[in-house]
Amino acid sequence: MPVHDPDLGWHLLGGSWILSHGQVPETDPINTFGFLWIDYHWLSQILFYKIYTVAGFNGLRVLLGVVMGFLAVLLSIIIHRTIDSNKEIIPALLAFLLSITFIGELTSIRPQMFLLLFLALSYLILTSARFRKIELPILITLSIIGSNIHVYWIFIPILWFIFRIVPGFSKSNTYSSIYVWSGLLLLSLSALISPYGIFSSDTSHLSTLANYLVLFDYATMPQSLREYISELRGGLSGGGIVSYLLLVAAFLVARTQNRQAINGNFGNLISTVFSFALTIRALKFSPIFGLFGAQVLADSISKLFKGDLLALEKISTKLGPVILKLGIIYISIIAIRTSPWMFDSSQDLSVNQPVVACAKIKDLNLSQQPGRDHIRVLTHFDHGGWCRWAAYEKDPSFDMRVTTDGRTQLVPVEHYKESFDLYRLRGQWANTLASWAPDVVLVNKSQPLAQILVRAPSEWKLVHEDSVFALFIPIK
């Protein structure tokens, strides 16, 4: 997995900033228009930066591989609960590949990967009688840690609601109402145990509820903003493999899950439908569906093989072991060829992100404009985080801020529309360029904005270019 995820730059900067200042950020040191940063990823950012300082980007790639390995094991256990993997190898493999494809759609070196591990553990705990006496303390611990890593922590209390509260409406429920409702309350309040909660240095009411403010911001994000960001668009609108697999999953469940199956598997079915609906709304939740829907999808595939297609079951029994061995060999070859020791991903980073260009901004020796205490760099949504990190890594004392950096929390929708329109030369782009008055413009040379800047040598000076990116400064 390459390391050019658009968010990794500002995650590394966050980890470095926290360790050097001994606290989490409150004001925004990244964005020129930002005033507040609720850095709810802070715990994972420290880990990312520590690994980066010891083992570089390859260390982060190994970390992702380890996390995905554990996640694959937990996913296999979830599927094995429904399918006897020793006898039904092909159905088990199909269920695993279907689920891991949903998970892999957004796999990258990002904090959410840790939360997927936490959610898989939570799911297994809630669906196993073995952990009944200790399930709540474990889940509360996972929620507290998770709330300091990624907003996906909220799915732990949601799972509790699905598997413990909803059955309470049935006479067959064996849990007391006091236990399940108090458990939901404690899990929901887990985000208070945070530097942005009751341990905040700011005792204001807003600061204490900061982690919940981020959740509210996500929940109320307007559709107009979602259309600008690929992972926030609907799961069926992307046109990629996940769009088609969602239709396949819907067909499988509708074809095989009858009323009797629903009554005996109610919690799993609710979690499947819930996560499916979230993925239809936003592709970002595809990994959640891959986890929460794994058991129902496995059951559906198993029934499809057993139903009227007995020949498939026989084929699975005979050819399954051969297919499994060939698959392991094939995957092993890919793993070796793309391992950090064989495949250098640094070229992907320099091609996809402006780390070289932005490291040179300090050398331009620019003066701050009146009324500013930093250098303002015009950046695209996908490049701002890496640009700020490249400048910070070269000189942490160099105060440079970007106009857009990939974070969407507490930012007006109009700002993103203006930014995307500017780079595409749409709408009132010229007014935006004039009002934002950047000291430096960072642009991919293939973007329309680059063509305008290069054709105005009396207004903009080209000060750096490489194979992909260019830097322009205004001629005063």
272-285 per-position pLDDT tens digit: 999 999 999 989 99
Lowest mean pLDDT among 133-142, 220-229, 242-251, 456-465: 220-229
Shared-domain flag, residues 288 and 408: no
Q: How far is CA 474 from CA 181, 341, 449, 460, in A?
A: 60, 43, 14, 5
Of 443, 444, 438, nearest to 459 (Cα)?
438
Shared-domain flag, residues 206 and 172: yes
What is d(CA 376, CA 435) in angstroms, rounded to the nearest whole number? Answer: 12
* 386: its two tokens: 């890496």
The larger pLDDT score, comparing residue 286 to residue 260, is at 286
Q: Does position 320 have pLDDT exceeding 60, yes or no?
A: yes
Q: Is residue 79 part of a domain?
A: yes
Residues pairing with 442 in the sheet: 471
Q: Per residue in 440-451, pLDDT tens? A: 999 999 999 999
Per the structure, the complete domain to which residue 358 belongs is given by 354-474
Shared-domain flag, residues 302 and 372: no
Contact 157, 164 (CB under 8 A): no
Q: Is residue 27 part of a domain?
A: no
Per-residue pLDDT band at 203 (split at 50, 70, 90): low
Q: Is residue 31 part of a domain?
A: no
Q: Does position 146 have pLDDT exceeding 80, yes or no?
A: yes
Of 113, 118, 132, 137, nearest to 187 (Cα)?
137
What is d(CA 241, CA 312) in angstroms, rounded to the nearest whole number? Answer: 25
Per-residue pLDDT band at 430 (split at 50, 70, 90): very high
* 179: its two tokens: 């236990």
Q: Is residue 346 part of a domain?
A: no
Number of separate domains in the chain: 2
H/E run at residue 252? helix 241-256
Per-residue model confidence (pLDDT) at position 260: 64
Which residues touch 435 (CB under 8 Å, ≥6 apart)?
none
Shared-domain flag, residues 332 and 378: no
- Per-chain mean pLDDT for the chain: 88
The phi and psi torsions of 474 (rounded to 5 degrees) equal -70, 145
Q: Name the domain boundary from 290, 308, 337.
A: 337
3-state DSSP assignment of residue 471: strand
Shared-domain flag, residues 360 and 332: no
Q: Does position 438 have pLDDT exceeding 90, yes or no?
A: yes
Shared-domain flag, residues 63 and 100: yes
What is d(CA 299, CA 295) in angstroms, rounded to the nearest whole number? Answer: 6
Q: Does position 426 have pLDDT exceeding 60, yes or no?
A: yes
Per-residue model confidence (pLDDT) at position 120: 97
What does the angle CA 272 – CA 278 – CA 279 come to, to the nearest 5 degrees? 90
Q: Name the domain boundary from 308, 337, 366.
A: 337
Q: Does position 112 have pLDDT exceeding 70, yes or no?
A: yes
Q: Is residue 282 part of a domain?
A: yes
Buried b (16+ CB within 10 A) or exposed e, 285-306: bbbbbbbbbbbbbbbbbbbbbe
Shared-domain flag, residues 321 and 364: no
Q: Name the domain boundary from 287, 312, 337.
A: 337
Lowest mean pLDDT among 83-97, 121-135, 385-399, 457-471: 83-97
Q: Write out the DSSP string of 268-320.
A: HHHHHHHHHHHHHH-GGGHHHHHHHTHHHHHHHHHHHHHSS-HHHHHHHHHHH
Per-residue pLDDT band at 311 (split at 50, 70, 90): low
Q: Per residue in 88-101, pLDDT tens? A: 888 888 999 999 99
Sheet of 460-465, strands arranged across: 400-402, 375-378, 440-444, 469-474, 460-465
* 141: its two tokens: 């611990």
Shared-domain flag, residues 303 and 381: no
Q: Is residue 68 part of a domain?
A: yes
Handedness of CA 291, 297, 299, 301 (dihedral sign): negative
Of 235, 228, 216, nearest to 409 (Cα)?
216
Q: Is residue 6 part of a domain?
A: no
The larger pLDDT score, comparing residue 324 to residue 49, is at 49
Of 49, 148, 89, nearest to 323 (Cα)?
89
3-state DSSP assignment of residue 373: coil
Long-range contacts of 78-83 (CB under 8 A, 24+ apart): 78/120, 78/123, 78/124, 78/291, 78/294, 78/295, 78/298, 79/294, 79/295, 79/298, 81/127, 81/295, 82/295, 82/298, 82/299, 82/302, 83/298, 83/299, 83/301, 83/302
Q: Is residue 182 part of a domain?
A: yes
H/E run at residue 474? strand 469-474
Lowest mean pLDDT among 251-265, 284-298, 351-365: 251-265
Contact 74, 124 (CB under 8 A): yes
Shared-domain flag, residues 197 and 108: yes
Shared-domain flag, residues 216 and 118: yes
Given the structure tokens 């709810």, which residue do they identify?
40
Shared-domain flag, residues 79 and 109: yes
Shared-domain flag, residues 260 and 215: yes
Of 441, 428, 436, 447, nearest to 474 (Cα)?
441
- Rounded to the nearest angstrom, the gap between the alpha carbon of residue 367 and the centroid of all alpha carbons in its chain is 37
